[in-house]
A and B are shown apart, each in its own frame.
Chain A
Amino acid sequence: MRKVSAFNIAAIFVGIAFLYLPIAVLVIYSFNASRLVAVWGGWSTRWYAELLNDEPLLDAASISIRLALTSATLATVLGTMAALALVRFGRFRGRLAFAAMVYAPLVMPEVITGLSLLLLFVAVAADRGFWTVAVAHTTMAVCFVTVIVQSRLIDFDMSLEEAAMDLGAPPLRTFASVTLPLIFPAIAAAWMLAFALSVDDLVIASFTTGPGATTLPIRIYSEVRLGVKPEMNAVCAIMVAVVGAAVIIASLLAKIIGARGTPVQARS
């Protein structure tokens, strides 16, 4: 075993503190009894209770969740289809270009994605609102879904599909009864990630939203500009919990892909 040096331990602590100290402070202050954000007034859950009376904030939360459900589902369907096309159809004409185009949004600055989508919606005279944000979030998440599902499909043992067809299952039933169950953990993980990305997003949503479709991050951002209210700490703490849970579930699912989806080889 390698020797654990004092330097390594220090590095870990500094790194973790750098990442999580701000979040920890936020969560702790969400339980602050004092109305003044920067002054500690003892433990309390009153701001969580007060959230329940904040009608606009609850509306924004409900919009954000519906938005995330919609765009995550759309992105999962589209991204899975793109992954299938990339892995299965071999070397079709323009495959490399298609792959590059699917991955490009991964590295595209959100401001550019948001602005370009806004221009598109204006150009086609789409009424900006819930559906424009949903489409925008779908666009953003598709590439993540594709990457996750594709990695699972590359390891997929094609002889399993051949076996299903040989036993009398037509292509669609083969997909539904063999392929889909085996890549399902990857698809579920991808959906979770797309959900978390949508709940999280401020930039693209603020470009593409319209009246009546204020998402939670937009609401929080505009509230905080007028001064930080203690309720906001509570909202943010809840969001951290929700997004954190989604990411943890997604990574757990990704992990059990190995356990459940590994094709059983003839050789033991």
Chain B
Amino acid sequence: MVDQLSLDIYQGEFFALLGPSGCGKTTLLRLIAGLERPNAGRVLLDGVDLTPEPPYRRPVNLMFQNYALFPHLNVEANVGFGLKQEGLAKREIGRRVADMLALVKLEGYGARKPHELSGGQRQRVALARSLVKRPRVHLLDEPMAALDKKLRGETQFELMELQRQVGLTFVIVTHDQSEAMTLAHRIGVMDRGRLMQVAPPADVYERPDSRWVADFIGDVNLLEGRLGDDRVSIEGTAAGRLRVAAEAVAPAGAMVWVAVRPERVRISRQPPLPGLDNCVAATVVDIGYFGDKSVYKLRIRDGSLLKAAINRGADGDGAVGVGEQVWLTWPPEAARVLTR
């Protein structure tokens, strides 16, 4: 289900559609490929309306989530299938297929059937099959979902490298935020058929424009309060009066949310200097150990929970135990005002 959205993707861009399962990201991809028909709206490519074109007449290719390799054809015939439909000469097809197999490091596998390949090799055959047509837009539906975690990491870098080499526009669908962050130049975050935010990865993480995006990408502490007249102070939150660095774009007196990433929160045993902003007393409720960092759950005055992530080796780590009284602080530039 895709609901009233508008999205521009630029030539040569690596764009990621990110969202929870069932948010409509695959439907959006299939709309671009022509496998679904929109009730309303259009798909434009270079200003040309693709909407009435059937999938086999669109200069767009899709790599399927389950790869959809033809089980009765060998690797060469699978990769060459699309070129054969273009009516190219056999020699030309053979040359381009060989080049493509070399690019995805599958030389010597041309005669194998899909069931004789490993999961990673199948994934690369699927990639080669859709890329060999040199589509104007290359669509990838969860290309890493079926790979194990270690292989996924390697493949992500290979995919980035590949996109750079072929210089094509890539649109990838994923529910894995780290994958989207790693791969994409820009990310479109989707929820229930709507695009929530479109921005480069760093912006989506550091400057989310809604509570939903802030919460979906990584962890976040949200504190509700009333925006002050100076537009940088927020009154009446569970942590008292808070300050942010940048002026909020909302009328004074509006109800807003202050978002602070857990890794920006500092834990201290010493009471802070009087008059310091963004400071709240808390009790340690729970400590989650993640190896490279520890995540502290802390209860503040009104009973709500905040999270603080402390990197291993950072000062104060290890010293604080469950049940201890501590002070939480964060710099004004670490907090962001959200209006929705």
Contact = CB atoms under 8 A, between A and B. Distances in A.
B146 A267 contact: yes
Interface string B123-164: 100000110010000000000011000000000000000000
A265 B85 contact: no
B35 A166 contact: yes
Contact of B122 (A163, A166, A266): A266
B66 A157 contact: yes
Contact of A264 (B57, B65, B69): B69
A268 B64 contact: no
B89 to A, nearest CB: 16
A266 B123 contact: yes
Given A159-B64, A173-B85, A264-B122, A165 B54 contact: yes
A164 B66 contact: no
Interface stretch (A73-81, A124-132, A255-263): A255-263
A94 interface: no
Q: How large is the interface on A (under 10, 10 to 19, 20 to 34, 35 or more residues)?
A: 20 to 34
A244 interface: no
A84 interface: no
Contact of A160 (B35, B68, B115, B119): B68
B70 A163 contact: yes
Interface residues of B, number: 34
A168 B85 contact: yes
B85 A167 contact: yes
B68 A163 contact: yes
Nearest to B115: A264
B85 A263 contact: no
Given A159-B64, A162-B35, A264-B122, A167 B72 contact: no
Contacts, number: 88
B289 interface: no
Given A159-B68, A266-B67, A266-B145, A166 B86 contact: no
A266 B71 contact: no
Contact of B119 (A159, A178, A267): A267
Interface string B31-69: 001110000000000000000001111001110111111
13 contacts: A157-B66, A160-B68, A160-B71, A167-B82, A167-B130, A168-B57, A173-B85, A182-B72, A260-B71, A263-B71, A264-B122, A266-B145, A268-B118
Q: Closest 5 CB pairs between A and B?
A: A168-B85, A167-B82, A266-B146, A163-B68, A159-B68
